[in-house]
Every structure is written in structure tokens, then in C-alpha cells.
Amino acid sequence: MHEVVVGGRSITVTHIASESSEHGAIQRYRVEVSGSDSATEPSILRENSVVDARVVASVIDSELFLEYPGSAESGLLRDSAIRTWRDEHRGSIEELLTQLKRDADALPSEPVSDAERVLLRAFEMDDRHGDA
């Protein structure tokens, strides 16, 4: 579990399950924001189940900022109070996200699956991971 506090609310990310797939291990997490009954359970393709800065940054970015189709109906953003809080504290949340990304960059590299390597090469982002 990893908890961060921003704008008077805590964001808690908890690992809930690991699943095997043909592309590698899939980690499932639960994300909750204090003061809300809304929660979401994103999945991330990675071997490690540890809830670290990489995971927290990913879920904050995807669950609070990306606003993918349907997020207002099924994710944290279905709670209008969470949307209002996010809008009022956007700067603070973005600062937290920047710090989490810096912390994630300082962590040791993770193993890269064949599927991830193909995607990284397709988007010309494979220089960081080499041929590991």
C-alpha cells in the first residue's frame, strides 16, 4: 500500500492481485481517495507487485488527468466531488505527479517484456531499456 496526501485528501493505492498473461504478469491495484466512495481497480503490465512511485504516478495520471472515455461513469471521476477537488487542486496534484515521476526515474530499471519492447521500439522510446 502507498498513500499520498494532496489538497486535504489522501490517495491510497493498494495491490490486490497478480495474474499471468501471455504478455507477462498483470498487477491489479485498488485506488481510493479519502472522502469518497468511488474507487477504481486499474491493471498494469509489470512483473513487480510493489506499489512504488511508478505505480502511484501511473494511477494518478490515468485516473485523475487523462479522462478517458467512460471515466466519469466508472472511475474515480464518477464522483463529482473528486472532479471538483481535482480541478481546485490541479496545480498541487501536478506537482505531486512531477515528484512521483522523479522518484520513479530514480528507481532501478524494471525488466521489459517482449510485448513492451515492441511497443517501446514502435514509439522510438527503447533507448532507456536497451535490449534487456
Q: What does pTM read for this prediction?
A: 0.80
Non-local (6+) Cβ contacts of 42 within 8 A are 28, 29, 31, 58, 59, 62, 63
Tens-digit pLDDT profile for residues 59-69: 999 888 877 77
Mean pLDDT of 52-77: 84
Q: Mean pLDDT over all residues of the chain?
A: 86
Pair 72, 51: CB distance under 8 Å? no
Amino acid identity of residue 95, one-letter, is E
Q: Any bridge partners for residue 106, and if so which?
A: none
Handedness of CA 9, 41, 82, 68 (dihedral sign): positive
